[in-house]
Amino acid sequence: MAYEPIWQNEPDKLAKFEWVKLQKDGLEIIRSIIEKYALEGFASIPADELDLFKWAGVYQQKPRDGHFMMRVRINTGIMTTEQARTIAEISRLYGRGLVDVTTRQAVQFHWLKVEHFPDIFRRLEAATLYSYEACGDCPRTIVGNPLAGIDSNELFDTAGIVEELNDYFLLNRDFSNLPRKFKISVSANIYNNGQAEINDLAFTPAVKIIGDEEVAGFHVMVGGGLSAKPMLAQKLDIFVRPEDTLKVASAAVTLFRDHGYREKRNHARLKFLIADWGAEKFREKLVELTGDLPARGEDKTAGWHAAYFDGVHPQRQEGLYYIGLNVPVGRLNADELLQLADLADHYGEGRLRTTMSQNIIISGVPEGKLQSLLQEPLLQRLSPSADHFISRTVSCTGNEFCNLALVETKQRAVQTADYLEQNVELDEKLRLHWVGCPNACGHKQIADIGLQGSLIKTPEGMVEAFDLAVGGTLGGGESSPAAQFARPLKGRIRSDEIGPVLAQLIAFYKQERREADSFHSFVERVGIPVLQERLTDILAVQA
């Protein structure tokens, strides 16, 4: 290593897996996969080595029978159609035609075998795509504004900055052994397209008068994260010029590497260090590495659109449009992705853009081609004007593939959205986020209604169920609500009763809301006790 791992000097403060990482850097697993395990097969892989597969972007999928999930990095969600075709072809050859868009703008395959990986790595690299470090204790896929470069609501184009950060951190052994994963967000969009508050490190749009010039740059937030102990990122009192973004990011990751906690895996994310240090101490330590940085300027965040872009919208470039498509719960097949690539070439600029709401955007469409594109058969399923409930439904992988999930999520989420569409009339699009376990890959804490999988005991045995949380939102500047996680309601709901229970809860909202109420403002106005009482009454009738 090019740096001294100072934490090894306190061996009694290291979790077991920290010793594994000290003996073999996670990035070494890539060579081991190619030169050994792909040749010798799944049975030859030791358990400790399987844990390191994450650095190759790979997890064992349920039921641990030799099949794997692979995650592919899509920086800020922008990929060329040739890259999309590569992804589709890998899915067709090795992944049973399945493609999932994740809540971090990445793409996931399933059903892969270790024998497939050398060819998959080659195909990805030929398309300038990588699965490396899409998982593991390292800087993960860098998320941001999927509209970078075409967005009339961004201060400047951040795509190049994201690429610079990605190129610096990817396969960099100075940062391949962090206490836990590190998630970075970069966006200059005024509607918080980068979901800043739930990332370890987030760069958000700002301006500052420096000398006689107004400079567009970033404010910085640190220490956000979800999982079982969610925390909102805290603001640092610094202003960052675009050209200094890498310097600041490198310093932040260095501080986490050298001072983050390594004793317990469930207490190792940056958010725990920030909770103990506070934002001011972190800023002081950061500036020791970066040199002086200006104080905060004027925050330009003006709202939060929850990373939704459905419909037809004008781009910054006159005469060009982008179309936001709904991909129900982020799942499509290889043939559909190939068709999307063809449509993006024929009608657009040859790019597809993935979103943190698990959807896809076709960009660069001239006005004269819009109507023809909208008539394409594929856009009947991947619709720019999907029904209200499915258009705002997000879901994690669930126990179909995930070893941590207690329940199935994606199919249940689609079924529930269909039920609500048929039984509820609502002029507002409520965000419904489904997760199969406390790790919260489906971002249930920032949903209007978050649903977390659980189990419930019945006379027939244990059955799948869900717990509810309500009123989540991220921030959007002084004129918008402050970021707040969804708050839990007591009362476990059998999975086959979710649709009727939600329909009655939404009916209560419709009955009691005021004209200016959104669901979030309604929850804030009436309070959790009132909603708890209503849910308790609903469940008593259901029993």
Which residue numbers are catalytic? 71, 180-181, 436, 441-442
In terms of DSSP bridges, do strands 432-435 and 393-395 run parallel, antiparallel, or are they unpaired?
Answer: parallel
Dist. CA 91–CA 447, nearest whole Å: 30
User: DSSP class of residue 497?
Assistant: G
Dist. CA 506–CA 503, nearest whole Å: 5
Contact 58, 116 (CB under 8 A): no
- Laid out side by side, the sheet with 351-354 consists of 78-80, 351-354, 360-366, 320-325, 311-314
Dist. CA 362–CA 324, nearest whole Å: 7
Could you give the 3-state DSSP secondary structure of residue 328? helix
In terms of DSSP bridges, do strands 107-112 and 351-354 run parallel, antiparallel, or are they unpaired?
Answer: unpaired
Question: Which residue has tokens 């640190």?
Answer: 222
Dist. CA 71–CA 68, nearest whole Å: 10
In terms of DSSP bridges, do strands 360-366 and 320-325 run parallel, antiparallel, or are they unpaired?
Answer: antiparallel
Burial 293-328 (b: 16+ CB within 10 A, else e): bbebbebbbbebebbbbbbbbebeeeebbbbbbbbb
User: DSSP class of residue 84?
Assistant: H
Dist. CA 405–CA 351, nearest whole Å: 33
What is the distance of C-alpha 269 from the center of its chain?
16
Dist. CA 222–CA 201, nearest whole Å: 5
* H/E element, 528: helix 528-542
Rg (CA), the chain: 23
Contact 214, 298 (CB under 8 A): no
Phi and psi torsions of 221, nearest 5°? -125, 145
Longest dimension (CA), the chain: 74
